[in-house]
Amino acid sequence: MPGTFEPLPGGGAAVALDDVEISIIRSLAVQMMELIGPGPAEDTSGDPLAGLFSEGPSEPPSDPVLRRLFPDAYGDPEGAPRPEEAEEQRVRSAEFRRYTENDLRAGKRDNALAVIRSLDALTPAGGDDVVLELSPDESRQWLGALNDLRLAIGSRLEISDEDDSDLLFRLPDEDPRKPMVMAYLWLGGLQEALVSTLMP
């Protein structure tokens, strides 16, 4: 089981992690929460209804990682739209973003927080691997968080397709991107193993 998720009887998943792996995942999850930022409920009054009906931003984020995590809902991913369609797509994307981004951000924060809490609940094993056991719901939150972390790292590494990913395998050890590449590939392995545990 070391380093890979395996299914648990009755649902959920388990993985053996060492102290370094726990530290890396926790640090990345904390950074994800900081990047996403507080939600509108934390920004405004303590009125729960105000948070429920607050509108989100209508413009895409300026940070490329956040743009990858919260892409426009309308548009041609393969290229630029025709001029007559561009303005309509921009308006539709802005409207969609205004009513969905707050909830998307809250979901991503919740997933990252679930990762942090489950890691913090582990009992240190004194240098040995410790087994993290996740319920089916926790497994889904971990899957969402792992996906977000890979998207964020991939964006920082400017990975846009599978060919870019293949080039990363051949980076020399002295390349300053190497640690980030190793984290990207490792998280991908964890994500793939966790997906397989959740498949019926």
Tell me the helix, strand and coil percentages in the chain, rounded to 5.
Answer: 60, 5, 35
Q: Provide the pLDDT for residue 37.
A: 87
Count of other CB atoms within 10 angstroms of residue 26: 17
How is residue 76 annotated by DSSP?
Answer: -
- Say yes or no to pLDDT of 6 above 90: yes
The predicted pLDDT at position 26 comes to 97
| pLDDT per position as a tens digit, 164-195 | 666 777 788 888 888 898 899 899 999 999 99
Tokens 């369609």 identify what position? 85
Q: Are 101 and 57 in contact (CB under 8 A)?
A: yes
Query: Where residue 84 falls among pLDDT bands split at 50, 70, 90?
Result: low
Tokens (6 digits) for 166? 């293949």
Residue 115 has pLDDT above 90, yes or no: yes
| Spans of all domains in the chain | 6-45+104-198
The pTM assigned to this predicted structure is 0.82
Name the residue among 132, 106, 101 with its Cα closest to residue 119. 132
Instruction: Give me the mean pLDDT over the 20-49 stretch.
Output: 79
Q: Is the per-residue pLDDT at 101 higher than 80?
A: yes
